[in-house]
Chain A
Amino acid sequence: MTRVRREVGHADAPATVWSQASADFDRWLSGDSAALDDLVATMTPVLWQIARSYRLTQEQAEDVVQTCWLAFVRKNSSILDTAAVGAWLTLTTRREAWRVAKRSGRDVPVEDEALESRVPTQRSAESLVVEGDRNSLIWAAVESLPERCRRLLRVVAFSDRPDYAGLAKELNMPVGSIGPTRGRCLGKLRDSLRDEGVS
């Protein structure tokens, strides 16, 4: 049974989650073998979100997250700065997710707005009922964004300063346009939240 430990919530800022991850990693290196469980509990929800932003199915995303943890166990000696463990795990997940997405032809986000209406949002219906109206409005606003925006904002939201070069490659965009695109996407989100009366 998993120990319940919620010092860090799933929706906390990446910097907070990463600093908890680094503390878990430090404890594990000092010989506390239970700290590995804590590290996995701290980072798995974030890695899940990262993997899912690559249009992977639930099964594919779960495989990607597992591959990342196995790689971590094998290669953690290469992480010399333990404060970088969150970044390492996030980047490893992104690379693997992108590889899997490419293999299954899901790699390049489609800009086609017409596709938006076909993106299923009902997967969230159950949790939205629980979370209430405000969350469903926010969700609707996020889902109404073009796909490139959704992927970009999702990766950025769950990473502490992601590398723009990698994002540019994955999104098939020039690296110089990541910053401006991020700004435009946030602008669209702001507008659409205002239209829905959330903010």
Chain B
Amino acid sequence: MGRSEEPTCDELLGLVRQAYVAGDPVPGGLISRMQAAAAGAASESGLGLDLELMLLVESSTEALGVRSAAPASARSAYTLRFAQSGVDVLVRVASDTDTTARLDGWVVPGSPMTVRAIRADDARTPIVAVTLGASGRFELTSLPAGLIRLRFEPADGSSAFLTPTFEI
């Protein structure tokens, strides 16, 4: 902080943090105990360890619309089917705008769950997520082009499913 200036609010809050971190520090071993508790709970509920990897069982390309000046990639769509342990996921990927894609999906059997689109490349763009109900239908829009994976997390706490990487 400036020598002759009053400390700002942020600087004061920084000092408050510094004081408490030094004056009332985390007890020794607390972090390890919390890591053990979290890891134990995660393996009990099948999270983390028992992530089910889905297999790509089918893929097909469809040509859309009439011929135009637009690049083929902007007019084509494709369908992917993933499966694992009795769960089937059908995904249709189509161009949304020139640079983004939309994804329409259908999970069978449908049940309440969270669906996340995860960037599979190094780009740290935010992960998009939606919840879906018993219909099993979901849509993700305005996804930036690139490599993604889909992660399905059933609301009942059973194992999550992760698809292989695919391009949108």
Cα–Cα, bound, A81→B7 (Å): 34
Task: Give the total of A residues in contact with B, Cβ under 8 Å.
Answer: 62
- Closest residue of chain A to B53 (Cβ to Cβ) is A31
| Residue with the greatest number of chain A CB neighbours at <10 A, chosen from B34, B49, B162 | B34
Cα–Cα, bound, A62→B35 (Å): 13
Cα–Cα, bound, A62→B33 (Å): 10
Number of A-B contacts (CB under 8 A): 164
Cβ contact within 8 Å between A190 and B6: yes
Q: Which of A71-79, A98-106, A110-118, A163-171 contacts B (4 or more CB under 8 A)?
A: A71-79
Task: Name the contact of B12 in the complex, choosing from A1, A36, A154, A190 (C-beta under 8 A).
Answer: A190
The secondary structure that dominates the A interface is: helix
List chain A residues, Cβ under 8 A from B124. Answer: 23, 26
A148 contacts B by Cβ under 8 Å: no
Task: Give the total of B residues in contact with A, Cβ under 8 Å.
Answer: 54
Cβ contact within 8 Å between B126 and A62: no
Task: Name the contact of A139 in the complex, choosing from B9, B22, B31, B114 (C-beta under 8 A).
Answer: B22
List chain B residues, Cβ under 8 A from A153. Answer: 13, 16
Interface residues of A in 10-31 (CB under 8 A from B): 10-11, 13, 23, 26, 28-31
Cα–Cα, bound, A67→B61 (Å): 48
Cβ contact within 8 Å between B22 and A73: no
Cβ contact within 8 Å between B31 and A44: yes
A108 contacts B by Cβ under 8 Å: no
